[in-house]
């Protein structure tokens, strides 16, 4: 199961630790900037898909 959440404030208590985003999202998008600021792991969607495929193959 994958839980989805939205990061809107550095005080947000949403329980997630990985922010996945599309390459179309600008580097200065507020949610991406905030995720990086508070230390949440960030990855582009294609990086996540590559990791999933690698995991399935092994």
- 21: which strand partners? 44
Kind and range of the H or E element at 46? helix 45-57
Q: Give Rg (Cα) of the chain.
A: 12
Which pTM value belongs to this model?
A: 0.67
Nearest-angstrom CA–CA distance, 35 and 52: 22
**CB–CB of 33/7 below 8 Å?**
no
- For residues 41 and 20, give the distance between their C-alpha atoms in angstroms, rounded to a whole number: 8
pLDDT tens sequence across 1-58:
456 566 666 666 566 788 899 999 999 999 899 889 888 899 999 998 998 898 888 7
CA-based max dimension of the chain: 38
Identify the pLDDT of residue 43: 92
pLDDT at 58: 73
Q: Where are the domains of the chain?
A: 22-57
């Amino acid at each position: 199961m994958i839980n989805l959440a939205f990061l809107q404030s550095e005080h947000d208590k949403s329980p997630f630790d990985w922010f996945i985003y599309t390459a179309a999202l600008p580097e200065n998008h507020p949610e991406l900037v905030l995720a990086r600021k508070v230390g949440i792991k960030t990855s582009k969607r294609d990086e996540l898909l590559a990791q999933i495929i690698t995991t399935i193959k092994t």
